[in-house]
Amino acid sequence: MKSAIKTLSVLFLVLLSSGTFAQNKMQSLDELVNKKDPSWPLIKKWIDSAKNKVEVLELDSAKAKEVLYNTQVSTYSTLGGVIYNTGGMMVDNGWVRILGSGSTRLNRSVSEWNKGKSIQEYGDKPLFLLVADDAVGGFFAINYGAFGKDIKNIYYLAPNSLNWEPLGFGYGEFILFCFDSDLSSFYKGLRWSTWNQFIANLDGSKSYSFRPYLWTAEGADIDKCTRKLVSTEELFKFDLIKQKELSAKTTTEAQ
């Protein structure tokens, strides 16, 4: 419990502080574009052989260069390959949204989405980096120190607990997890019976919010909850507020 409270404290310091990070010297676009051994050919093979449906969203090459530079990752990395070669990816008919350089359907890039959340200005060194989310209001982030010692591993902000839960693997394995794993098993209890009738044309900047809240005892059965489409941006902020409230309540009860 102390560890969970510590994690929440770190997260809110990141969100609310304007001077938390030291600005790093930013690498040029030429330095970030790896021409000898880019990750994209391997990612493309993963897409072509994926067990789950993967939709690669349209790419604006000028935007992709801007986002790659602002994110400061190399195209040698899987994350850099996704940013530089896709506007994002929709998995399982759009249930999971993997952020890239932004597109019409997923109008959020990795760099833009993290500004004001994990960083204040481009070039800041983040303690976590948001890289994907889902239709049910869950968020995936790379850990750079905010959540534990397992640096570069993926954590999931689960909508039915509001805890950052470690998945035990890094970003590349996360992409393979999205492409090839049994997502129905991972999302057990988080998919209502007719979910697949609502997802295919869902705007990638919106997510479902539920009442009663999924993290409450009353919200344990998602089929008995009412749902509403809301801005993913607002839902993320709301989750952090509720996280803080739950943390404060837990601290008070422990005293």
Position 8 pLDDT exceeds 50: no
In tens, the pLDDT along 238-252 reads: 999 999 998 777 666
Residue 172: give its domain's CATH number.
Answer: 3.40.1580
Let me know if residue 154 belongs to a domain.
Answer: yes
Position 150 pLDDT exceeds 70: yes
Let me know if residue 18 belongs to a domain.
Answer: yes
Region 184-205: what's the mean pLDDT? 94
> Is residue 102 within 8 Å of 112, Cβ to Cβ?
yes
Q: What's the pLDDT score for residue 62?
A: 98
pLDDT band at 22 (very low <50, low <70, confident <90, very high): very low
Q: What's the pLDDT score for residue 134?
A: 98
- Nearest CA to 80 out of 25, 130, 38 is that of 38
Query: Which parts of 151-231 fold into alpha helices (H)?
Result: 171-180, 183-186
List the strands of the sheet with 128-134, edge to edge.
54-56, 88-91, 96-99, 128-134, 139-143, 153-157, 164-170
Let me know if residue 86 belongs to a domain.
Answer: yes
Q: What's the pLDDT score for residue 23?
A: 53
Position 3 pLDDT exceeds 90: no
Let me know if residue 225 belongs to a domain.
Answer: no
Let me know if residue 153 belongs to a domain.
Answer: yes
Residue 166 pairs in a beta bridge with 155
Number of structural domains the chain divides into: 1
**pTM assigned to the model:** 0.90
In tens, the pLDDT along 106-149 reads: 999 999 999 999 999 999 999 999 999 999 999 999 999 999 99
Let me know if residue 209 belongs to a domain.
Answer: no
Let me know if residue 151 belongs to a domain.
Answer: yes
Let me know if residue 189 belongs to a domain.
Answer: no
pLDDT band at 193 (very low <50, low <70, confident <90, very high): very high
List the domain range (segments joined by +) for residue 21: 2-184+196-203
pLDDT band at 255 (very low <50, low <70, confident <90, very high): low
